[in-house]
Amino acid sequence: MPLTLLVPDLLAPADAPEAMRGLRLPALEAWLVRADASRVPLTGSRWLLAQWGLGADAPVAALTLAAEGGPREGEWLRADPVHQRVERGGLVLHDATVLGLTRDEADEAVAALNDFFGRDGLEFAAPSPDAWFVRVPPGELPRTHPLEDAVGRNPFGMLPEGAGKLRWPSLFSEAQMLLAGLPLNAARESRGMPAVNAVWFWGGGALPRELPRPFDRVAAGEPLARALALASGCALHALPATLAALASHGAADCLAVVPSLVPPMRRGDPEAWIEAARALDRDWFAHLGVALRAFGGLRLVLPGERDTAVFDLAPAARWRLFRRARPLASHA
């Protein structure tokens, strides 16, 4: 398909507030009803990884670290900063979107982690304040769960488990205690900000030597899409502000990843999510007809709670004028 638009978190989950579930996006809905629809049994980022022939155990850490210009040698895990707090009678994990970490805070935390865990052969790095990594000794990679699976849930059924010398559940707990005592968290709490009180280990492995190239070019600022494009030799472009500004480049297959709904969904901010969704309808979906003519074919990929909805639009879809639009939530 010449143009594929991947829009994570547009299909609200079943337990989302009614204002999100009831949101109408007229421009998008008018095109979804004209498309050939299908479902793929993949959720979250798994559809994106599958385009490069990767599964849920993909070495996301090594790929995204390399895209940040970090080291390429060895086996790496993401060790992302997270915030845990008691909500609705249980512990709930939140990712770095709620933290707003500064460069100095990240440096202080990573220095403390390296001082403490260096004895275990672990080497932490933070090329950006909200993306942390750890190099793991040979043979010590644990089995993990992606961060996106743990966000909004109690994490203790998803802690890392290893078969080597390192006891990963204990390392998780030790990191919690270490971070809790850092001066940066005392300062954050005095300002009413959430504490950095854990790191989430996931996405382990070594950098692949070779990946397939499923697209000619990728337009994205989202870290995983950028990393996959760079690792496979796809031409990488910045994501424009609107669909109308996305150049077709002839018959070249293009993937555009539009992630503006992910931060408000991760923060649990329905008002911001609704505002961002309406902006997408205005700036992106209102131009789908123009894009269909320019690219000659268009695929909309909307990951949902249970699977991923895929909507294929061929040029003939422009003439399916008499189909009644359905609410966005009916496609979830």
- Please write the tens of the pLDDT for every residue from 110-158: 999 999 999 999 999 999 999 999 999 999 999 999 999 999 999 989 9
Please state the rounded mean pLDDT for residues 280-297: 95
Residue 38 to residue 233: CA distance in whole angstroms = 29
Considering the domain architecture, whether residues 31 and 119 belong to the same structural domain is answered as: no
Which amino acid is it at 185? N
pLDDT band of residue 82 (cuts 50, 70, 90) is: very high
The mean per-residue pLDDT over the stretch 54-75 comes to: 92
Residues 229 and 158 in one domain: no
332: pLDDT strictly greater than 90: no
Tell me if 135 sits within 8 A of 74, measured CB to CB: yes
Which of 191, 206, 221 finishes a domain?
Answer: 206
Q: What is the pLDDT of residue 325?
A: 79
Which residue intervals of the chain are DSSP H helices? 18-21, 26-32, 46-51, 60-67, 103-117, 147-150, 168-180, 183-190, 223-232, 262-267, 270-283, 288-295
The pLDDT value recorded for residue 331 is 85
Neighbours of 164 (CB within 10 A): 13
Cβ pair 113, 46 in contact under 8 A: no
Question: What average pLDDT does range 261-281 have in this prediction?
Answer: 96
pLDDT at 168 over 90: yes
* Domain stop point among 154, 186, 206: 206
Q: Are residues 65 and 196 in the same domain?
A: yes
At residue 324, does pLDDT exceed 80? no
3-state secondary structure of 199: strand
| Cα angle for residues 74, 76, 78 (degrees, 5° grid) | 165
pLDDT for res 303: 96
Same domain, 292 and 164: no
What is the structure's pLDDT at 70?
A: 80
- For residue 246, what are the domain limits? 3-54+211-331
SS3 call for 58: coil
- Tokens in use for 109? 């935390």
Q: Residue 12: its pLDDT value, please? A: 93
Helices then strands, each counted (H, E), the chain: 12, 12
Q: Are residues 40 and 79 in the same domain?
A: no
Same domain as 184, residue 169: yes
Q: Are residues 184 and 131 in the same domain?
A: yes
What count of other Cβ atoms lies within 10 Å of the Cβ of residue 313? 24
Residues 67 and 176 in one domain: yes
70 and 199 assigned to the same domain? yes
Domain count, the chain: 2
C-alpha distances out from residue 29 to 216, 258, 309, 311, Å? 28, 17, 14, 11
Average pLDDT taken over every residue of the chain: 94
Order the strands of the 217-219 sheet from edge to edge. Answer: 36-40, 308-313, 298-303, 3-6, 254-257, 217-219, 235-237
pLDDT for 238 = 96
- Boundary of a domain, candidates 206, 228, 250: 206
* CA of residue 118 relative to chain centroid, distance: 29
Q: Is the pLDDT of residue 323 over 80?
A: no
pLDDT class for 248, splitting at 50, 70, 90?
A: confident
pLDDT score recorded for residue 322: 61
Q: Do 215 and 184 share a structural domain?
A: no
For residues 185-207, give the mean pLDDT: 97
Tell whether 293 and 167 lie within a shared domain. Answer: no
Give the CATH number for residue 250. 3.40.720.10
- Model's pTM, two decimal places? 0.94
pLDDT for position 252 = 77
Co-location of 264 and 220 in the same domain: yes
Give the up-direction half-sphere exposure of residue 277: CA atoms within 13 A in the CB hemisphere: 26
DSSP symbol at 11 = S
Task: Give me the count of residues in the chain.
Answer: 332
Cβ count within 10 A of residue 270:
18
User: In sequence order, which residues have a C-beta less than 8 Å from that of residue 190 and are 6 or more positions away?
Assistant: none
